[in-house]
Structure 1
Amino acid sequence: MAEMTISLSIGQVAESTGLSVHTLRFYEREGLFVNPVRRRPGGRRVYSQDDVDWLTVCIILRASGMPLPALRRYADLVREGAGNEEERLALMREHQAHVTTQIGRLTESLDLIRFKVGVYEDIADQDSAAGRQCHAPSPAADGEHTPTLRHEAVIE
């Protein structure tokens, strides 16, 4: 039995992935597709479900901060096929370390933001006058982590 191939226009792919038509063309120029984008006789691009699935991987990797050269290298390795899994693994481990570091920094930022939200909620609850100074508390006795600020912040 013949396999049914889904043919999607660039507009349909843009809509389903959230990428703009411009970005899809850019990804093609940059060599980020694993398979060449097919064309209809009139030159219009035709995408398969495999292309959309691959774009989903690209979207996630880009959203996690993978630089275009690394993504291009990954696409090259996938395109080459079996035999380069060690290089793919090294590339992914390097990116994993980057994302882990990024998550740590974001967690520290979130700790500070949560602290500041608490400060401002307390002030709003107390209906305080503007101009008071807020300070970060020392680490809680129960071991809860709170950020330590080195400078006073003036509430404006």
Structure 2
Amino acid sequence: MNKYYQDFLIRTWQKGDRDAAAAVIAEVLAEYNLSWEPLGADRDVLAVEESYFQRDGEFWVVEQNGKIVGTGAYYPVNRGKNGVEIRKMYLLPTVRGKGLGRYLLQELEAAIATRGYKEIWLETASVLKEAVKLYESSGYQPATGVETKRCDRVYLKTLLNE
């Protein structure tokens, strides 16, 4: 999968991306005083093959000039009705404010819809104010059932695909 947005390339994660993708996520978490948890909530980033590809999910990276500057992913979950969870949607501060986050979210939603899923779940933390604003303005509704320690918000969006 290759998609372009302005001067960004959004593509499927490859084995050589592991360290750079993990570094982007760790950097953004640190920016908001949230902890990188390689043995917990972030273990999936270090085991993308098992956590995403072997579970019918996808993990994407965002490149600018050959450097990974963002990530976005999803996989099926046992939550709701035929649902997936969007995970690891992070962008470095230098690439924010260009509409890239909204574009990435819309592309994830489109990929999820083409696979016939009905519900999209996601968890986030209130301190990630830009993310909360993006999700709420994109039709995500507050839900309950936080499963990740550093998160305090759960959102749900029902897809109308037939």
TM-score (ref. length: structure 1): 0.28
Instruction: Name the structure, 1 or 2, with higher relative contact order (CA <8 Å, separation 6+).
Output: 2
The structure in which a higher percent of residues are helix is: 1
Q: Quick check: which has more Rg, 1 or 2?
A: 1
TM-score (ref. length: structure 2): 0.28
The structure in which a higher percent of residues are strand is: 2
